[in-house]
Amino acid sequence: MVKKGYLLLENGIIFEGESFGKEKDVDGEVVFNTGMVGYPEGFTDPSYFGQILTLTYPLIGNYAVPKKTHKDGMLSNFESDKIHLRGLIVSSYIENNSHWQSHQSLASWLKNENVPALSGIDTRTLTKTLRETGVMKGKIVFNDPAENEVNFYDVNRDNLVASVSCSKPITYGNGKFKILMIDCGVKLNQIRLLLKLDTTIIRVPWDYNPFETPFDAIVISNGPGDPKMAKETINTVKKAIGEKIPILGICLGNQILALAAGANTYKLKYGHRSQNQPVIDEINKKCYITTQNHGFAVDKNTLQTSWLPWFTNLNDNTNEGIRHTKFPFFTAQFHPEACPGPTDTEWIFEYFIKEASSFLSSRTK
């Protein structure tokens, strides 16, 4: 017999569904993603830590989950070593799957990783509710909610970055250009792509003091939660700006670099979570389709005079990246590494290394 489960929202709305994951109660921030594919990569994105994810695409599970294989010390088909969702909400779960990489069903994967999931939910109504009212605190429970007092927990009160960052430095590759990767919840494809550019990646914890480690440039990764909670990372980046070390910030890294440079950030009403977000390059006016997963944004009106918006979201005009007018400090609010999603902006990695190398060469002359 299929177990019933309930999604409870802080505004009092209750959705009833059927369990296909682990049957355990969880708290989280209820959000939605409009992507059609890519759940193995998406669910293992640490930026989802603390969130109950609603997928708007109606059929989920039909190509199952690939086998865990490793290359260069990293999993090949996933963006981290585990699922980071608190819970999953779908309209229709498909158990019968077909794909040449299929290794296990989505339900099996969720149960093995202790993640609850509900199907049979009216995800269209749920998504419209979240768009109209904003993301909300929520719970997945498996007892009749009328029988229990419900308290909702705000995950954004915690420093979520500390929960997903590595615990000690990890080195990848042996290239000539050394990058310090501040791990705020890094997606592995950022490392994979950088390794293709003759680099050594030194991945360090979010609160690591890196200035006794030799490196050429800094990349600040994506990650979950409110960027203002990662105070140690912000202070590290402030010092790096002062020492004119080339920096690239991605997603949360965009927000952290902006805060370190004196700008402000704010919480979006319902965030950007999809693989079809159009952004425009403010320098050359080219448009790119991007993968995104964030709930906070940089207030471009608070940028200091030496900083300019680099990218802008064409749906809501929010900031999608900044750049310095003189030094090689760049950011992208979206995910240039994709996984899942379009690879339109993969060029940013090569561009950053080229600009950083040129700057470093000019300093040594």
Q: What is the DSSP code string of 305-355?
A: TTEEEEEEETTT--EEEEEESSSSEEEESSBTT-SSS--TTTHHHHHHHHH
Q: Which residue is catalytic, options 320, 337, 339, 355? A: 337
Helices H / strands E in the chain, number of each: 8, 23
Strands 102-104 and 65-66: antiparallel
Question: Are residues 134 and 269 in contact, defined by beta-carbon separation less than 8 angstroms?
Answer: yes
Nearest to 15 by CA among 171, 129, 109, 113: 129
In this structure, what DSSP letter does residue 46 have? G
What are residue 33's phi and psi, to 5 degrees?
-125, 135
Whether the bond into 116 is cis, omega within 30 of 0? no
Neighbours of 282 (CB within 10 A): 17
> Which residue of the set 272, 335, 339, 355 is catalytic?
335
Number of Cβ within a 10 Å radius of residue 171: 13
Does 287 qualify as catalytic in the annotation?
no
In angstroms, the CA 154 to CA 143 distance is 21
The type of residue at 100 is W
If you compute the radius of gyration of the chain from its CA atoms, what whole number of angstroms results? 20
Residue with tokens 């952004």: 279
103 is catalytic: no
> Which helix (H) or strand (E) is 209 found in, with range?
none
How many degrees, rounded to 5, is the angle at CA 83 between CA 258 and CA 113? 155
239 vs 30: CA distance, rounded Å:
36
Contact criterion met (CB below 8 Å) for 314 and 281: no
Helices (H), the chain: 39-43, 106-112, 123-133, 161-164, 188-195, 231-242, 252-260, 347-364
132 belongs to the catalytic site: no
Q: Which of 251, 294, 324, 339 is catalytic?
A: 251
Tokens of 205: 């914890």
The whole-angstrom separation of Cα 234 and Cα 143 is 42
Residues taking part in catalysis? 251, 335, 337
